[in-house]
Chain A
């Protein structure tokens, strides 16, 4: 038996591993398998009809589009924020650094109603934007703003440690060989940050795909226009069509698993990349 041949004097292996597997199965694996059993009660034609209906397709386009745009905007600003927080000294830096995690700590419902009020037509930011003809509340732009809010820490917190560990000697070498600061950034620093940046983008994107609480209030949930996939699932549940809800959930779940795999690959690449430096 592999399990009984432990070359250590420490006790508790069977107890702790047993409890871990029991709890994991009870809370995660068994309930999760229910979704696939439920889908199996649908025929392929039924599943196909639900998963590719025009409402569902519209929700995928919106969810993916908004999540992607939010992740990209966060990539640009997150990189700048991480750079500034690591490299520069200025008043209030530590406060800003701690605040970056706010979207993790603030419950999504609170973030949702706050953003919805700020960007409402009569809100603090909303009334300025309305006066120049930009409508955020109850529009796809609102969804993008909510997803940008929740995705921000992922990018900053994945780039920050890599940037902190970066050896300035490489930059000094490049500078002594005559490279300009801009060349050093693009040719030397940026390539070293790429794996972390891509990991952060993938994490922010994956989180945005499943996001619910911060989006529903600002989105207005107008059919075919501002309904994201999780809201569509919720709508099916409200009318007790569990099979339809499950079919949509399976689509979301499979995409999440693919992204999880991608993130793991990126992190593996990132750590290898890092080890070479």
Chain B
């Protein structure tokens, strides 16, 4: 498993009741140690997580509500929101479809090279976002394999290239490049959620449905989907959050044309670089809000998914 969210179990461990008069248990630390460790935890998380989160909203409203809403309703900000939503509308469903297909093939069938395939699916997580953007520039950029707008006698893909020229279809420094880079960085999210879940669930339920006369699609919709829905939702939530917030990879392929190729994070960068901090934080507060919603939904879906996983392992 590579670089990404490690799977986490939310099961609440029954901790020992705090005995006041009774002698301390041998497997419990003295009260002063407990208090010290809790203090360090609260202090560290407070400094590194809570303070930054709170400061986003305080800075966003630094010049009052009117300024806040003006910064968000700015045409450039709205066009950034629109581009981000378009990107998500492509990236999330495509990666979702891929995740389900990959998990179905990997969990329901045996074939050689399965471990390698799982490793390759996880690959985008271990690649720097900047490098992720760069590879698309190398393929589709002006000097790349396919984006040879000027170099018409290049032997590679001449038909495709003339089609691109005829239709003035730009990939790099345009929406398609942003969509592709976003798909790349969010590629593993759904698949890596579903693969372990569906592997744990096995294939007996689907086989029973088939033997009882259900068609392949009926089996998938009425047996598999209800079993995996929470894991699927969990993956989609994470995929969506990353797709909306991706910065490095999108920054490489975007070209930063205001009102045209700026996504929300890139618009925030533009505002910040102009020392327009309050407006930058106003737009950033939208993404911070998204992060909070993501955390709530994630905690809830995780709880449901773990219940499904537990059921499967019993």
Query: Could you list which residues of chain A lie within 8 angstroms of chain B, going by C-beta atoms?
Result: 2-3, 6, 8-13, 15-17, 19-21, 23-24, 27-32, 34-35, 38, 77, 80-81, 83-90, 92, 96, 98-115, 117-118, 124-125, 148-149, 152-154, 157-158, 160-161, 164, 168, 171-172, 175-176, 181, 184, 199-200, 203, 206-207, 209-213, 217, 230, 233-234, 237, 240, 242, 245-246, 249, 252-253, 256-257, 259-260, 263-264, 267
Q: Please name the residue on chain A nearest to B131 by beta carbon.
A: A249
Q: How many Å lie between the Cα of A200 and that of B3 in the bound state?
A: 9
Q: How many Å lie between the Cα of A249 and that of B134 in the bound state?
A: 8
Q: How far is the CB of B112 from chain A (nearest CB, A)?
A: 6
Q: Are B15 and A260 neighbours in the complex by a CB distance under 8 Å? A: no
Q: Are A152 and B183 neighbours in the complex by a CB distance under 8 Å? A: no
Q: How many Å lie between the Cα of A173 and that of B147 in the bound state?
A: 68
Instruction: Give every chain B residue within 8 A of A100 (Cβ-Cβ).
Output: 45, 49
Contact with A along B170-201 (1 / 0, CB 8 A): 00000000001001100100000000000000
Q: Is B257 an interface residue (CB 8 A)?
A: no
Q: Are B248 and A154 neighbours in the complex by a CB distance under 8 Å? A: no
Q: Please name the residue on chain B nearest to A263 by beta carbon.
A: B2
Contact with A along B292-303 (1 / 0, CB 8 A): 101110110000
> At the interface, is chain A mostly helix, strand, loop or mixed?
helix
Interchain residue pairs with CB less than 8 A apart (24) = A17-B105, A24-B98, A31-B184, A80-B44, A83-B37, A84-B38, A89-B18, A100-B49, A103-B49, A105-B298, A107-B291, A109-B287, A149-B49, A152-B49, A157-B5, A176-B26, A203-B6, A206-B3, A210-B128, A246-B138, A260-B3, A263-B3, A264-B1, A267-B1
Q: Are B134 and A246 neighbours in the complex by a CB distance under 8 Å? A: yes
Q: Are A90 and B38 neighbours in the complex by a CB distance under 8 Å? A: yes
Known: A110-B245, A211-B128. 5 other contacts (CB 8 A): A23-B98, A107-B241, A160-B9, A237-B137, A256-B128
Tell which of B3, B15, B128, B145 touches A230, judged by Cβ atoms closer than 8 Å. Answer: B128
Q: How many Å lie between the Cα of A35 and that of B130 in the bound state?
A: 12
Instruction: Give every chain A residue within 8 A of B290 (Cβ-Cβ).
Output: 105, 107
Known contacts being A16-B105, A113-B280, is A152 close to B26, with CB within 8 Å? no
Interface segment among B67-75, B114-122, B158-166, B225-233: the answer is: B114-122
Instruction: Give every chain B residue within 8 A of A21 (Cβ-Cβ).
Output: 117
Q: How far is the CB of B172 from chain A (nearest CB, A)?
A: 11
Known contacts being A102-B49, A256-B128, is A118 close to B55, with CB within 8 Å? yes
Contact with A along B265-306 (1 / 0, CB 8 A): 110110010000100110010011011101110110000000
Tell which of B29, B44, B216, B248 touches A212, judged by Cβ atoms closer than 8 Å. Answer: B248
Please name the 3 residue pairs, one residue from A and one from B, whose CB atoms are nearest each other, closest first: A107-B245, A210-B128, A175-B26
Instruction: Give every chain B residue within 8 A of A10 (Cβ-Cβ).
Output: 108-109, 203, 206-207, 210, 216, 219
Q: How many Å lie between the Cα of A118 and that of B55 in the bound state?
A: 8
Q: How many Å lie between the Cα of A19 and that of B49 in the bound state?
A: 40
Q: How far is the CB of A73 from chain B (nearest CB, A)?
A: 10
Tell which of A8, A168, A253, A264 touches B131, judged by Cβ atoms closer than 8 Å. Answer: A253
Tell which of B33, B37, B55, B127 touches A117, judged by Cβ atoms closer than 8 Å. Answer: B55
Q: How large is the interface on B (under 10, 10 to 19, 20 to 34, 35 or more residues)?
A: 35 or more
Q: Are A20 and B288 neighbours in the complex by a CB distance under 8 Å? A: no
Q: How far is the CB of A125 from chain B (nearest CB, A)?
A: 8
Q: Is B87 an interface residue (CB 8 A)?
A: no
Q: Are A28 and B184 neighbours in the complex by a CB distance under 8 Å? A: yes
Q: Are A114 and B52 neighbours in the complex by a CB distance under 8 Å? A: yes
Tell which of B27, B52, B245 touches A115, judged by Cβ atoms closer than 8 Å. Answer: B52
Q: Is B311 an interface residue (CB 8 A)?
A: no
Most chain A CB inside 10 Å of its own CB: which residue of B18, B28, B219, B248: B248
Instruction: Give every chain B residue within 8 A of A112 (Cβ-Cβ).
Output: 247
Q: How many Å lie between the Cα of A199 and that of B291 in the bound state?
A: 26
Q: Is B110 an interface residue (CB 8 A)?
A: yes
Q: Are B112 and A2 neighbours in the complex by a CB distance under 8 Å? A: yes
Q: Are A233 and B130 neighbours in the complex by a CB distance under 8 Å? A: yes
Contact with A along B226-270 (1 / 0, CB 8 A): 000000000000100100111110011000000000001110110
Q: Are B295 and A28 neighbours in the complex by a CB distance under 8 Å? A: no
